[in-house]
Structure 1
Amino acid sequence: MSAEPDLFLGGRLRLRQPARGAHRAGTDAVLLARWLAPRPSETIYDLGAATGAVGLAVARLADDCRVVLVEREAALAALARENARDNGLDDRVRVVEADLLAPGAQRRAAGLLPATADAVLTNPPFFEAGGHRPSPVPEKASAHTFAEGSLDGWLRTCADLLCPGGRLGLIHRADALPACLEALHGRFGDCAIRPVHARADRPAIRVLIAAVKGSRALLRLLPPLVLQDEAGRFTPEAGALHRGEPWPPS
């Protein structure tokens, strides 16, 4: 574990993370945490929460929401509980140890009940086994890789946990957009896609997707977010998001 907590949201959130070399939250977590504007008194699930960066950021910025952090790895779930407590959020944040790809009966036994989330935020593993060279660090490999075809199962669990009309927010690699849309088809509609570029003259590296369970509304492609200027500094929009400010208007 890192000796000192990392600071998020301009210092408003202190996050203990595994030592460097393991999977650690960064810009992806910040973007996902700010992607869906919380509504009053919502219950928001952070699926694949690791140490809780996304869900805890939401809880810090929306003091009338309840947050459920779902993490499979016991050591990371323990860090998530510690982070919730250290930030004074443990009265509104619950940590559930569960495998999102387990059969429904096992998920329910772990405390994940259907139609209990108003919104779900998730950063699924970015790679399928055999499709890339995994990290030699077991914890990092586990966070980044899952079995072939598992993205569909992961998003099926998201749909199961959401109430009718509930909202999904996810972040993934830009080249995974077709697979994401295929897995969302028939379960979600009103998809809004925002490409994320490291710099304005480079291809997108991430996509942020918002969708509504059961909706039949058409897909929308939103303006891109550019993270850095020519000098490698955060753009004003990216800097504002890292400080915990709302998403810039489209």
Structure 2
Amino acid sequence: MNELREDGFLGGRLRITQPLRGYRSGADAVMLAASCPAQPDESVLELGCGAGVASLCLGWRVPRLRLTGLERQEDYAELARRNAARNGISLHVLTGDLGAMPAELRRESFDHVIANPPYFIAGTKAGDAGRNLSRQEDTPLVGWIDAALRRLRPGGIITLIQRADRLDAVLSTLQGRAGAIAILPVAARQGREAGRIILTARKAARTPLRLLAPFIMHDGAQHWLDGEDFSSQASAVLREGASMVEYFAKES
């Protein structure tokens, strides 16, 4: 692994060491954590945890979680362990592949599984091997979702963030296996197409799908000034550690 750098997340509430030029977690990991409806004392598994950003953001927001991370790259897994220790959050990190999980993990089931599967099916390789494995699909998307469902207890909840143009693949994999699906489109600005979706689904449920109002990341029609122009709701999530769970709540 190349040179490392310490980054602040949640307005500096978490200090996370990441590769300077390898795969680096950012806003997607924070929003994934903010969208997971875990409650204190529940168990959460993150598939492909990288340096631990999503799990640690979730652990900062929700106390007493039993957090487990699975990461195929040992150097990233070790970073996740170090980051957890530094921030005083308990995170059990295992090294292994989705298709050949450690026996310890195969014996467990979880209340929640969260994941940010690689966004790209194919394309030009980056110069960093860790970045390639994290951003370009090696295990197919169906394999990520299948692994998540296998590790969920009956009634457990999967939370995913993914590119909007891969929603059809996500839904086809969940069909007949999970319900109560809620889809939150994430758009850069008001009136723009969603580039991301955050999805929650409950294993073995049959409740109909809900398509939610979009979550807007930035104010204004375009970026005019230097510096950040996050919307108030995006700033609350990214800088203050606010929950996004209420965006998935069913209207009464």
TM-score by length of 1: 0.90
1:213 to 1:248, Cα distance in 2 relative to 1, 3 A: closer
1:57 to 1:248, Cα distance in 2 relative to 1, 3 A: closer
Aligned partners of 1:188 and 1:114: how far apart in 2? 21
1:114 to 1:215, Cα distance in 2 relative to 1, 3 A: farther
Structure 1 stretch 178-187 or stretch 50-59: which is displaced more?
A: 178-187
Partner of 1:235: 231
1:48 to 1:3, Cα distance in 2 relative to 1, 3 A: closer
1:172–1:208 CA contact under 8 A, matched in 2: yes
SS at match of 2:197: strand
Are 1:245 and 2:232 an aligned pair?
Answer: no
Aligned partners of 2:234 and 2:132: how far apart in 1? 28
Structure 1 stretch 149-158 or stretch 161-170: which is displaced more?
A: 149-158
SS at match of 1:200: coil
Partner of 1:127: 120
Q: Structure 1, unaligned stretches of length 5 or more?
A: none
Q: How far did 1:67 drift?
A: 0.4
> Per-residue displacement from partner, 1:199-245 (whole Å, max 9, x unpaired)?
11321110000000011111000110010112640000100011201
Aligned partners of 1:183 and 1:25: how far apart in 2? 26
Identity percentage over the alignment?
A: 37
Partner of 2:11: 10
Give the letter aligned to residue 66 of structure 1: R
Partner of 2:250: none
Aligned partners of 2:213 and 2:107: how far apart in 1? 34
Aligned partners of 1:143 and 1:44: how far apart in 2? 20
Are 1:226 and 2:216 an aligned pair?
Answer: yes
Which residue, out of 136, 151, 176, partners 1:145? 136
How many equivalent pairs are there? 239
> Per-residue displacement from partner, 1:42-101 (whole Å, max 9, x unpaired)?
011111100000001111111211100110000000100110111112xx3100111012
Q: Structure 2, unaligned stretches of length 5 or more?
A: 224-228, 248-252
TM-score by length of 2: 0.90
SS at match of 2:154: strand
Give the letter aligned to residue 230 of structure 2: F
SS at match of 1:80: helix
1:136 to 1:174, Cα distance in 2 relative to 1, 3 A: same
1:82 to 1:248, Cα distance in 2 relative to 1, 3 A: closer
